[in-house]
Amino acid sequence: MDKFTQDFYAEKYGYNFPLSQIEYPAIPEQSPIVIPPYNGFGDEVDTLGYIYKLIPDKPKGDFFKSVDNDKRVLRYTAKLNTRVPEDFDRRFIISFYLADDSISIYEPA
């Protein structure tokens, strides 16, 4: 309490509040950051992203690559390699989008 309040209580109620120091809690020691080993998925930058933020930022795309390769798609047909007789005639269309390096796999009905 401040000096004015202390004097007021001493004069009005006859009670003297002793002045004391405020004790702030000690700052806990931070544990060292342990970098997990690279697990083979994504990029090493992706693995380090989880250390610095709980929810990492979305990786920024290459603007010029997306503009130059807009609507360019590489399409391939694929056949399932299996010994199961029901799956011999299954066909797939694999599309690789050059703008953002994404892949889609479609199986015609």
Neighbours of 69 (CB within 10 A): 15
Rounded distance between C-alpha atoms, residue 98 and residue 104, angstroms: 12
* pTM above threshold 0.85: no
> For 8-14, what is the mean pLDDT?
89
- Report the mean per-residue pLDDT for the chain: 85
> For 31-53, what is the mean pLDDT?
75
Tokens, residue 104:
């889609």
List, for residues 50-98, the tens digit of each pLDDT value.
677 777 777 788 899 989 999 999 999 999 999 999 998 999 999 999 9
pLDDT number for residue 51: 73
Rounded distance between C-alpha atoms, residue 98 and residue 7, angstroms: 79
Element (H, E) at 46: helix 44-52
User: For residue 77, which amino acid is it?
Assistant: T
